[in-house]
Amino acid sequence: MDSRFWSGLWNVTRSARASAKISMRLVPNQRPEEIFKLFSEYVRSIVPRGIQINIRQLSGADPMLIRTDNHYVQASKDAMKEVFGKDTVLIRSGGSIPIVADFEKHLGIPSVMMGFGLPDDNLHAPNEKFHIPNFYRGIESIIRFFQLLSF
């Protein structure tokens, strides 16, 4: 979000213009077009008189809930247990990988999302990190996953 006035130096005066980029994570049974319409209608309903707004949708993708009752997910759980030495914990987590829903919707191909990050990795933050041992164990897990599927 940015609403500062630029005249060669940052200034603390109020500007006549403001902008914001808003990202939304949708859940199953929501559609990007409908959510954009509802969001736009709501924002327009609360805009003060005399203020002009322009709302536009830059992108959109259908939400996806990955099924875990298939042999691909079971193979990924088995592979990670062998490499990490612990049972896999399945969690529901948001993200933006539009091709996952497309694979399921158009090709009928299930996807497997294998996460190797830690809770304190701060993904996409300025102080993002990735635990290097998990990087290597992740590679080993994926190799083992493909080996298990080949039988």
Q: What is the mean pLDDT of each run of 10 residues along the chain (151 residues)?
A: 55 72 88 95 94 91 88 96 95 82 89 91 90 97 97 77
What span, in angstroms and rounded, lies between the C-alpha atoms of 61 and 26?
9
Q: What is the pLDDT of residue 11?
A: 58
User: What integer pLDDT is reported at residue 3 of this predicted model?
Assistant: 53
Relative orientation angle of helices 132-149 and 71-84, to the nearest 10 degrees: 130
CATH of 71-149, one of 3.30.70, 1.10.150, 1.20.272, 3.40.720: 1.10.150
How many Cα neighbours within 13 Å face the side chain of 23?
6
Instruction: With beta carbons less than 8 A apart as the criterion, state whether 93 and 115 touch.
Output: yes
The backbone torsions φ and ψ at residue 119, rounded to the nearest 5 degrees and listed phi first, read: -60, -30
What CA–CA distance (Å, rounded) separates 65 from 26? 10
CA distance 150 to 142: 12
For residue 18 the two structure tokens come to 């403001």
- pLDDT value of position 151: 77
User: Do residues 82 and 142 lie in contact, with contact meaning Cβ atoms separated by under 8 Å?
Assistant: no
Predicted pLDDT of residue 93: 80
- Please check whether residue 113 is in contact with residue 67, taking contact to mean a CB–CB distance below 8 angstroms: no
Which of 112, 130, 132, 14 has its CA nearest to residue 71?
A: 112
26 phi-psi bin (left φ>0, alpha ψ -120 to 50, beta other): beta
Q: What number of CA atoms fall less than 13 Å from residue 129's CA on the CB side? A: 9
Boundaries of every domain in the chain = 2-46, 71-149
What pLDDT, on a 0 to 100 scale, did the predictor assign at position 86? 95
